[in-house]
Amino acid sequence: MQAGSAAQILLAWEDPEKLHRGLVNAKFTAANLAAVRRRGWAQSVGEREAGVASVSAPVRGPNNKVIAAVSISGPMERLSRQPGRIHAAAVVATAARLSEHLAKNNK
């Protein structure tokens, strides 16, 4: 988990020790992950592969713990160089619906 928006999501809410271990050789920084936590979503542009963009949001399980990420990815020409600005709201809403579904079915 060293690159991409899903990796940012999965690391952003980890405990500090695991978060800092995850940053070794990562293409993003602790400051990037702090911004991800504030916004509630992550974006990647050419981070994993040239010409590919993605947006991810956290899926939460029991106790509000981040257990997965919902993502969309595609060519930059389709998602743009700022995919979060255009697509984050839809990805966050989808992740929230999935989190709600998991919470209901985990009772």
Q: Is 24 helix (H, G, I), strand (E, B) or coil?
A: coil
The pLDDT value recorded for residue 82 is: 94
Structure tokens at 26: 């990562």
The pLDDT value recorded for residue 106 is: 74
What CATH number does the domain containing 70 carry?
A: 3.30.450.40
Structure tokens at 73: 């990815």
Tens-place pLDDT, residues 21-49: 888 888 899 999 999 999 999 999 998 89
Is the model more confident about 107 or about 66? 66
Q: How many domains does the chain have?
A: 1
In which domain, by residue range, is 18 found? 5-105
**Following CA atoms 4, 45, 38, 63 in sequence, which dihedral angle do they give, to the nearest 10 degrees?**
-30
The pLDDT value recorded for residue 70 is: 98
Alpha-carbon span 48 to 55, nearest angstrom = 12
Run of H or E including 19: helix 16-22
Tens-place pLDDT, residues 91-102: 999 999 999 999
Q: 53: burial class by Cβ within 10 Å (0-12, 13-18, 19+)? A: buried
| Beta strand 66-75 pairing with 52-60 | antiparallel
* CA distances, 65 to each of 23, 50, 77, 105 (Å): 20, 32, 34, 16
Is the model more confident about 62 or about 83? 83
Q: What is the mean pLDDT of the chain?
A: 93
Q: Is pLDDT at 1 greater than 80 in this prediction?
A: no
Question: What percent of the chain is predicted at pLDDT more than 70?
Answer: 99
Tens-place pLDDT, residues 53-70: 999 999 999 888 999 999
